[in-house]
Amino acid sequence: MSLTVTRARVKEKCGVTGTDHDAAIDNLIAELVPAVEWTIAAEHLADTGNVLLQGTLLLGATEIVCGEFLAQRLRVEGALDATTENDVRTEPFGRRNPSDPYGLARQGWARLAPFRKTNLDVSEASGVLVGAIPSSPTEDS
C-alpha cells in the first residue's frame, strides 16, 4: 500500500490557510513520501488490514512533510531576523534548529522507527542523510 499524505492534512497540521503554499506542499508530498515509504519495511506497508498501523505510518509521513514545509518557511529571506523594539529583542522560535524548527520531522522519523527496514544504512559513515533522520529517535541536537 502506498501512503497518501494530503495537502489538506499538511495545511491543517501546519496552521496554513489559503492557497499560497499549495504548490510547495504538493511538491514536498511528491518528493518526500516515496523516500519515506522506501525506508519502511514492505510487510508493514502491505499490512492494509491493520488500520492502526496504517494510521501510524501515515501520521509519521505527514509529520515529516510538515516538518520540512515549516523548515522551508524559515528559509524565506528575513524569516530568522531578530527584531528590537523599545529595548525588547525578539528572536524567531525556529532559530535554534532551522532544519526542523518544531521537531515535527524528528517526531515523524521516531514514530516510524519500529517499522523501518532493518538493513537500512543511513549511518554517518555512509555520507548519506535522508531527510532529518536522527541517529537515534531520542537524540536531541
- The residue ranges of every structural domain in the chain are 7-126
- Residue 74: pLDDT band (50, 70, 90) is confident
Look up cell 518557511; give the residue.
Answer: 73
Residue of 110, 97, 89, 44 lying closest to 70 (CA atoms): 97
Q: What is the mean pLDDT of residues 13-40?
A: 95
The per-residue DSSP string of 53-83 comes to: HHHHHHHHHHHHHHHHHHHHHHTSTTTT--E
**CA-to-CA distance for 101 and 3, rounded, in angstroms?**
24
Judged by DSSP in three states, 116 sits in strand
Q: What is the pLDDT of residues 48-69, one digit of tens each?
A: 999 999 999 999 999 999 999 9
Phi and psi, residue 79, nearest 5° = -65, -30
> What average pLDDT is seen over the chain?
81
What pLDDT is attached to residue 53?
A: 96
Task: Give me the residues paired with residue 40 across strands.
Answer: 116
Q: What is the mean pLDDT of residues 8-17?
A: 94
Does an H or E element contain 89, and which?
strand 88-90
For residue 54, with 0-12 CB atoms within 10 Å meaning exposed, 13-18 middle and 19 or more buried, which class applies? middle
What pLDDT is attached to residue 47?
A: 95
| pTM score, whole prediction | 0.74
